[in-house]
Amino acid sequence: MPFVVHMKGNNLKVFNGRGRGSDIKELKSMSEKLKRRVPPSDSFLDAGTGDVYQRAKFGDFRKVNNVGVYNPMKRQGSAAPDIYRPVSGV
């Protein structure tokens, strides 16, 4: 709920990882030209920590909040693969 209040009731539109987020390294490796093309309303979700970044002036991104959920398969320091695979026998 605090995140919804912080975002003023706006939906979170994640532009990376097909809307599911990705590693923060992806944001750091983006070209400045590409960063400037991201609409300020779109967000980058760090799937390893749940941190949400939005574009500030001049293409810089700043952390605006943490959604409190993350993808454990992409958690920092995890050796887990990037692909979700169903567990057999369940």
Per-residue pLDDT tens over the stretch 7-44: 566 678 899 988 888 998 999 898 988 888 888 889 99
**pLDDT score of 81:** 47
Sorted by where each begins, the domain ranges of the chain are 2-73
Least confident residue range of 16-20, 51-55, 71-75: 71-75
* pTM of the predicted protein model: 0.66
**pLDDT score of 78:** 53
Q: How far is CA 17 from CA 9, 27, 29, 58, in A?
A: 23, 11, 14, 23
**DSSP at 4:** H
